[in-house]
Chains A and B, each alone.
Chain A
Amino acid sequence: MTAPASRPAAARRPAGGYIGAPIPRREDARLLTGRGTFVDDLEMPGVAHAAMVRSPHAHARVRRIDTEAARALPGVLAIVTAEDIADIQKPWPARMPSPVPGTSVRHGVRHTLPVAKVRHAGEVVAVVVAESRALAEDARDLVEVEYEVLPVVATAAAALAPGASLVYEELGDNIAAHIIQRVGHPERAFASADHTLRETFRVMRGGSHSMEGRAVVARYDEALDSFTVWDATQAPHAIRAMLAYLFDLPEHRVRVIAPPDVGGGLGPKTSFYPEEALVCWLARRLRRPVKWIEDRLEHFMSAAQEREQVHTVEIAFTRDGALLALRDVFTHDVGMYGALIAPVITACTVPGPYRVPNIHSEFRAAYTNLPPTAAVRGAGRPQGVLVMERMMDRMAETLGLDPAEARFRNLIPADAFPYPVGMVFRDGAPLTYDSGDYPELLRRALEIADYPRARREQAELRAQGRHRGIGVAICVEGVGLGPFEGAILRLDSRGRVVVTSGAPPQGQGYQTAFAQIAADMVGVRFEDVDVVTGDTGAIPYGIGSFASRVTANAGPAIALAGGELRQKILAVAAHLLEAAAADLEIADGAVHVRGLPDRGVPLAQVARLGNGGVAFGMIMPGGLQVGLEASAYFAPSQAGYSASAHVCILDVDPDTGEVAIVRYVVGHDCGNVINPLIVEGQILGGVAHGLSNALYEEAFYDSEGQNLASSFLDYPLPSAREMPRIEMFHLTTPSPINPLGVKGAGEAGTLPVPAAVAGAVEDALRPFGVRVNRMPLNPARISDLMHRA
């Protein structure tokens, strides 16, 4: 029934090496044929299924939980509440401290199951395990929970108001952090400037909506008193640390495996969640594997979200359009729990690619009775870009300048790197841009968009009563965050190089990209490299896949270990070939004396000697070191800084509020590129996420903290029909902070999209005086803007 077709092209070593070549992904064939390895696909004999009992209230005391009726249902194995799991009901450890000296984060203490009260609608209060998921859900619906409803704070503003209901009583208020960063003398600059502008912008909450939700299966081995946990996580080592802490086990007895296939992560799968502890506890109690697969409603209710911020921003500038000062004061909604990743990044993203000599940046992050927050693709950056780029548009309008020209007048020049902004970034290092060429990036984006012609066409269309707008946005993105990632490389008995690294992929193609780096560094063929990721049993330490960080952390680690492994291989081969290591080369699965292809030894033979000696009991010959293995951890001194320039040309129908994108140009600089095919895919996906944020996705919570848009029917994501064709180019300014010269690309596409779309819509509707200060720009909001204009 299937016509055989050509295999994906085998990767030939391109001139100059595999690094930089658009090699098709080795992951694809299994995913395209339905043979992937997602958590819910794994064969798990005897598995029992968990279903969570979740609070319908956003803030309530749990008075009583009646499980009797549920327990009576045939097929129910256990029902567990907070009292039952007392042995693991420890306070969760404090999360990220403030990276800004002199400031601090106030941590609300959370437990696996809520002690006394729930803090968001969707929080787990009990868990049911049964022979099937359907039975578990039947029983879940029979669990009766009596709540005493408490007053809810559903926005940061409500949480910060005097007398607000407290999410964590012990803190005395709802403030998670109040962080101020200052550069220069902003008050003086504002007082003496030719012009100042002040605006307020609001960005909505949103979810990641990876197509696979959270997913976890745990198995407990009684004889070894150890757990094996298959988890669709972005950070298996962090999950291991939490489980080891909660269960009071040494880390080596908790093995967390993020399978090779995870169905997207996009941020929220970096966090630890109660469900991960609960399935482990239940697996130990039942002596059976226990599985929990998040459904979409649960993803809407309980997976981490992000983005909700309200900014009041002011800029001061000269009559020539030179920025003098920036004052950005904003609130950030943390939800009931969350690290302060996003707002710290937002604050540092606002100044962007511009010289801003004086800055006052201040935010207050507030706990609310909404679901927890973490990073969602972009992680605070899209908000920062929106704020700054909207202000650049307003400055241009005030001065009668072209928006692109207003930007050119303020861009950091290409010869100014490293460029210190004067703030401290989320990684704790100074916010100092490593490399870039922002004027060239913007110039080329405008050139590809044929900007002057686009402006002429806009004028012609406007004369005909049509509403075309052009938006320009440019941004800088802190990427490649530390602390480190590691790699272990070894030559196995078949002569294949095995690369092991801690961070797991969720679609980013590590099995391909890591193999490209290793093949070049060791000097072997791409097809002779295997890649293992995301298994705490395979590499002792790792951090995870987030913050567009893996290529800039794991990449250099693979390169460093690869170079060392190569030397070890050559030393053993030198013994076998009775030649000097310096005279050897590796080619076609063997080590040869250079220029003498007949005088060689297969890598498998080198491995047998190097890893096993001559035979049991016999001495290693020639004083050879044992073990064709090398490991390296790479810890960057600071983040790298990628950059993007987007040009969006669109038409708005003022009657219906519909937006039609005519052209969308993306310029991107992430330093050196390992695999352009993969990087372009990352950018395209990021742009789609950004357009989704800009035009479609909108979370609605009422004042009681109830999610009013909790399905894809109410919370639309764009399909292929809504997505325009993206025109893309790369600029390459290699990073000086790691040996590969790479930065990061995973989130880049998302960042400037809301800003570019907002600029274009406001530009299109300029004849009506429409002001775009809030996203998303769906037809209803545009109609509303028209009505108010």
Chain B
Amino acid sequence: MTETRAISLIVNGRPRGATVEMRTTLVDFLREQLRLTGTHVGCEQGACGACTVLVDGEPVRGCLLLAVQADGARVETVEGLAPDLEHLTPLQAEFVRHHGVQCGFCTGGILMSLTASLRDNPRPTEAEIRDTLAGHLCRCTGYQGMVDAVLALVAAGEPAR
């Protein structure tokens, strides 16, 4: 049950090596061993999307992937989006302007999904934005501020990051 394995991966651009239990999920590994606590766990079963990170560029539920499955992968978390509080990405800045975050617990995962989605489709319609957000649950905002933030980003012709 507690069998371990050594893994190496690139997290937010930085090579990391660690020994992990086989059963450790990617999100628990990121939070507990790498102390990247911006990615949260909301349901432990892939429904809420709070734990979403990018693995080789694609959004992945951190609670449904084992850390060993990310061996050799490039992983990006919300901490990797902005270098500090003073230099938000354009998407993050629009979230501030449009009140897209309230308690902020689900926000990290949402930003990762949107960042990947806007990279692939920089000009989404409102329906497409809502489709991307549909992989996430937020109990505070009603989503409208987030949708408006992305619409403003698109209208300004800015990339997400």
CB–CB B102/A32 < 8 A: no
Task: List B87-126 residues whose CB lies under 8 Å from chain A.
Answer: 87-90, 92-93, 95-97, 99, 101-108, 111
At the interface, yes or no: B131 with Cβ under 8 Å from chain A? Answer: yes
Contacts of B92 in A (CB 8 A): 5, 29, 32-33
CB–CB A677/B44 < 8 A: no
CB–CB A211/B48 < 8 A: yes
Contacts of A726 in B (CB 8 A): 142, 144
Residue of B nearest to A507 (CB): B103
Q: Please tell me the number of chain B residues within 8 Å of chain A, measured between CB atoms.
A: 71
Report the bound CA distance from A209 to B35 in whole Å.
Answer: 26
Q: How far is the CB of A662 from chain B (nearest CB, A)?
A: 15
Residue of A nearest to B144 (CB): A684
Q: How far is the CB of A75 from chain B (nearest CB, A)?
A: 8
At the interface, yes or no: A717 with Cβ under 8 Å from chain B? Answer: yes
At the interface, yes or no: B140 with Cβ under 8 Å from chain A? Answer: yes
CB–CB A295/B107 < 8 A: no
Residue of A nearest to B84 (CB): A33
Contacts of A2 in B (CB 8 A): 80-83, 87, 89, 161
Query: B-facing mask of A19-46, CB < 8 A → 1, else 0?
Result: 0000011011111111110101101000
CB–CB A33/B38 < 8 A: yes
CB–CB B79/A33 < 8 A: yes
Q: How far is the CB of A382 from chain B (nearest CB, A)?
A: 16
Q: How far is the CB of B37 from chain A (nearest CB, A)?
A: 4
Report the bound CA distance from A43 to B36 in whole Å.
Answer: 11
Central interface residue in A212, A266, A720, A721, by most chain B CB within 10 Å: A720
CB–CB B137/A688 < 8 A: no
At the interface, yes or no: B39 with Cβ under 8 Å from chain A? Answer: yes
At the interface, yes or no: B134 with Cβ under 8 Å from chain A? Answer: yes
Q: Contacting B159 at CB < 8 Å: which of A3, A31, A297, A684?
A: A3
Q: How far is the CB of A719 from chain B (nearest CB, A)?
A: 4
Secondary structure of the A contact surface, majority rule:
loop
Contacts of A33 in B (CB 8 A): 38, 78-79, 81-82, 84-85, 88, 92
- Interface pick from A256-264, A330-338, A609-617: A256-264
At the interface, yes or no: B23 with Cβ under 8 Å from chain A? Answer: yes
CB–CB A34/B142 < 8 A: no
CB–CB B137/A34 < 8 A: no
Residue of A nearest to B21 (CB): A134
CB–CB A7/B78 < 8 A: no
Contacts of A689 in B (CB 8 A): 139
CB–CB B134/A36 < 8 A: no
Task: List A701-722 residues whose CB lies under 8 Å from chain B.
Answer: 711-713, 717, 719-721
Query: A-facing mask of B33-63, CB < 8 A → 1, else 0?
Result: 0011111111111011010000000000000
Contacts of A32 in B (CB 8 A): 78, 81-82, 88, 92, 95-96, 101, 104, 107, 111
At the interface, yes or no: A188 with Cβ under 8 Å from chain B? Answer: no
Report the bound CA distance from A3 to B129 in whole Å.
Answer: 22
Contacts of B84 in A (CB 8 A): 33
Residue of B nearest to A213 (CB): B42
At the interface, yes or no: A430 with Cβ under 8 Å from chain B? Answer: no
CB–CB A725/B144 < 8 A: yes
Q: How far is the CB of A536 from chain B (nearest CB, A)?
A: 21
Contacts of B77 in A (CB 8 A): 34
At the interface, yes or no: B141 with Cβ under 8 Å from chain A? Answer: yes
Q: Please tell me the number of chain A residues within 8 Å of chain B, measured between CB atoms.
A: 66
Q: Taking A264-B105, A509-B102 as contacts, is the C-beta distance between A295 and B139 under 8 angstroms?
A: no
Q: Contacting A685 at CB < 8 Å: which of B44, B137, B139?
A: B139
Q: How far is the CB of A318 from chain B (nearest CB, A)?
A: 40
CB–CB B141/A684 < 8 A: yes
CB–CB A134/B23 < 8 A: yes
At the interface, yes or no: A165 with Cβ under 8 Å from chain B? Answer: no
Query: B-facing mask of A742-758, CB < 8 A → 1, else 0?
Result: 00000001000000000
Contacts of A30 in B (CB 8 A): 85, 104
Residue of B nearest to A686 (CB): B142
Q: How far is the CB of B72 from chain A (nearest CB, A)?
A: 20
Residue of B nearest to A712 (CB): B47
Residue of B nearest to A677 (CB): B99
Q: How far is the CB of B68 from chain A (nearest CB, A)?
A: 15
At the interface, yes or no: A6 with Cβ under 8 Å from chain B? Answer: yes
Contacts of A4 in B (CB 8 A): 83, 87
CB–CB B134/A508 < 8 A: no
Residue of A nearest to B92 (CB): A32
Residue of B nearest to A680 (CB): B99
CB–CB B102/A507 < 8 A: yes
CB–CB A720/B143 < 8 A: yes
Contacts of B31 in A (CB 8 A): 40-41
Report the bound CA distance from A712 to B101 in whole Å.
Answer: 21
Q: Contacting A678 at CB < 8 Å: which of B39, B99, B138?
A: B99
Residue pairs across A and B with Cβ atoms less than 8 A apart, 13 shown, are A2-B161, A3-B90, A4-B87, A7-B93, A8-B97, A32-B107, A36-B105, A263-B103, A688-B139, A713-B45, A719-B137, A720-B129, A721-B133
Ordered nearest first, which 3 A-B pairs have the shortest CB separation? A34-B38, A31-B104, A507-B103
Instruction: Using CB atoms and an 8 Å cutoff, list the residues of chain A in contact with chain B.
Output: 1-9, 24-25, 27-36, 38, 40-41, 43, 134-135, 138, 208-212, 261-264, 266, 295-297, 506-509, 677-678, 680-681, 684-689, 711-713, 717, 719-721, 723, 725-726, 749
